[in-house]
Amino acid sequence: MSNMRPVQIRLHSRYEGEDVLQEMQGEAVLKGSVLYVRYEEPQAGPEGGITRTTLKLGGQSIKIIRHGEVESEQTFELNRKLPGFYRSPYMSFALSTHTQELELSIQGLSARAAWSYDFYRFDEESGHFAISLHIQEEPIS
């Protein structure tokens, strides 16, 4: 994607009482009303490899696509159960997400999102997640 600009990303997830906060540098581009954000995940994959993540934010939908050592795809739309997948060197499974809450606000290359969902692995519920995401365009120096 051309015209990518630097952004700061703050991702906070809660699952079963465990809080994880990740802060990363990435790049973003706005195409029409859809914001695309790319970054490398801060933790190495299971065998020390890199995983690149693309976020697609637009309308009332959030899609997370991961490529590299870990590959997965998850889509979030309010009140919908949507299919996805997960693959790593050690396991592979079909997943789905049922989103109960979703708020999304995009202003240029900055965005705020919050959503909560039930996670299903092989059609069995595996837990409830709550995510908040803040993307901030870095000023031009």
**Residue 55: CATH number of its domain:** 2.40.128.20
Task: Output the pTM of the full model.
Answer: 0.92
Can you give the pLDDT of all 141 residues of the chain as single tens digits?
Answer: 568 999 999 999 999 889 999 999 999 999 999 999 999 987 777 788 889 999 999 989 999 999 999 999 999 999 999 999 999 988 999 999 999 999 999 999 999 999 999 999 988 999 999 999 999 998 776
Q: Which residue has the tokens 């299903």?
A: 120
pLDDT confidence of residue 141: 62
CA–CA dist 117, 132 (Å, integer): 12
pLDDT confidence of residue 94: 96
141 assigned to some structural domain:
no
140 assigned to some structural domain:
no
17 assigned to some structural domain:
yes
Strands 81-87 and 92-107: antiparallel
Domain interval for residue 11: 3-135
Total structural domains within the chain: 1
pLDDT confidence of residue 2: 63
62 and 102 Cβ atoms separated by less than 8 Å = yes
pLDDT confidence of residue 27: 97
3 state DSSP class of 2: coil
CA–CA dist 31, 140 (Å, integer): 20
CA–CA dist 11, 40 (Å, integer): 13
96 assigned to some structural domain:
yes
Q: Which residue has the tokens 């997960």?
A: 86
10 assigned to some structural domain:
yes
18 assigned to some structural domain:
yes
